[in-house]
Amino acid sequence: MTDAGAPRGGEVDEGRPLVAVLDYGSGNVHSAVKALAAAGADARLTSDRGLITEAAGLVVPGVGAFSAVMSALQASRGDELIGRRLAGGRPVLGICVGMQVLFEHGVERGVETDGLGEWPGAVTELDAPVLPHMGWNTVRVGEGSVLFDGIADERFYFVHSYGAQHWTLDAMPQFRAPSVTWCDYGTPFIAAVENGPLSATQFHPEKSGAAGIRLLRNWVSSLPGSA
């Protein structure tokens, strides 16, 4: 079991909501742990199922290919942990490919891979003259966003060639409508989604400077038990 980032002795850092960063073999996780700590979380890189289940928030990072991330999630049973948390209304935040796998399918080089199916639709290659989309870009923030409170006009750091380019989830009358944030690179694609307990960003908040830390702080502040 990995439990990086925990206070000495494993004790809970009082006053900071516990956020588990899912350790399933994805790269670029330590920067996410550091950014979450800077945003006010007691952030732990962990594969401990109990800790992941009980944490105030779960972050699902992801880099590389859609199919490789799905395989790693299934091998570690991370897909089950994500599903159980969401079934109980417990917050989850996906980042980059950790966002992409929340959709039904990913299509890369003609190969289709099933995703987690939390949202309808497919992740496909961006229609842009140069790929990957790498660097800073602005976004068009969705109505009612919590993540982008105070940072709607900021830029965020993207590194990807694929994205969800359509949003087809129908809003349920008894629930708050999802807030969907868009970005333009060759064609419009979804930059972030806030849908009940499930949120995600296509960009890397941990690489997006002060604006990224503020976004993570907005999410951490929304977690149950946050001051």
pLDDT in the model for residue 101: 98
Average the pLDDT over 53-81 and give the result.
Answer: 96
Is the pLDDT confidence value at 112 over 70? yes
pLDDT in the model for residue 225: 78
Is there a domain that residue 190 lies in? yes
Radius of gyration of the chain (CA): 16
In a domain? residue 38: yes
Active-site choice (96, 133, 183, 194)? 96
Q: How far apart are CA 187 and CA 128, in angstroms?
A: 7
Active-site residue, selected from the candidate residues 118, 154, 194, 204: 204
Give the pLDDT of residue 6. 44
The band of 9, judged by pLDDT with boundaries at 50, 70 and 90, is very low
Residue 85 lies in a domain: yes
User: Does residue 226 lie in a domain region?
Assistant: no
Please report whether residue 203 resides in a domain: yes
Share of the chain above pLDDT 70, in %: 92
Q: Whole-angstrom Cα distance, residue 182 to residue 189? A: 6
Domain that holds residue 158: 3-221
Quick one: which of 116, 110, 119 has its CA closest to 62? 116
Give mean pLDDT, residues 104-120: 96
pLDDT at residue number 227 = 62
Instruction: Tell me if 227 is assigned to some domain.
Output: no
Q: With 90 as the cut, is the pLDDT of residue 3 above it?
A: no
Residues 6+ apart with CB under 8 A from 137: 155, 156, 158, 183, 184, 185, 203
Catalytic-role residue among 104, 154, 194, 206: 206
| Cβ contact 188:198 at 8 Å | no
User: If you average pLDDT over every residue of the chain, what do you get?
Assistant: 92
pLDDT at 171: 72
* pLDDT band at residue 209 using 50, 70 and 90 as cut-offs: very high
If one counts the domains in the chain, the total is 1
Task: Tell me the average pLDDT across 154-164.
Answer: 98
CATH number where 75 lies:
3.40.50.880
**204 has catalytic annotation:** yes
140: tokens are 């068009």
In a domain, 55, yes or no: yes
Given pLDDT bands bounded at 50, 70 and 90, which one contains residue 176?
confident
Q: Report if residue 28 sits inside a domain.
A: yes
User: What whole-number percentage of the chain has pLDDT above 90?
Assistant: 85
Q: Is 96 a catalytic residue?
A: yes
pLDDT(1) > 90: no
Nearest CA to 83 out of 223, 197, 170, 200 is that of 197
Residue 22's nearest CA partner among 65, 53, 68, 64 is 53
